[in-house]
Amino acid sequence: MSQFNTNDKICLNCRFYSHLIGVGLGLRCTHPATWRKPKMPPLIPARTHSCMRFIYREKQIEVTQVEC
């Protein structure tokens, strides 16, 4: 069960949140005001981080925890 609510104003619920951990790039903010091409978008310190550019994503994503 997720510890985050879909109404929380955190990066995980932002439309500019990019989860690129699987390709070794971490969590990135793709808001046009935060980065300049061709450089990489800036890193997000944590999923629970928030900023003044926050905009809710249209489709919510579900966070699941996997036990090993």
- Judged by DSSP in three states, 22 sits in helix
Q: Which residue has the higher pLDDT, 45 or 3?
A: 45
Q: pTM of the prediction?
A: 0.69
Could you give the CA distance from residue 51 to residue 29 in angstroms, rounded to a whole number? 10
Q: Is the pLDDT of residue 1 over 60?
A: no
Q: How is the chain split into domains, by residue range?
A: 1-68
Q: Rounded distance, CA 12 to CA 35, Å?
A: 18
| Chain mean pLDDT for the chain | 82
Confidence of residue 66 (pLDDT cuts 50, 70, 90): low
**pLDDT given for residue 68 in this prediction:** 63
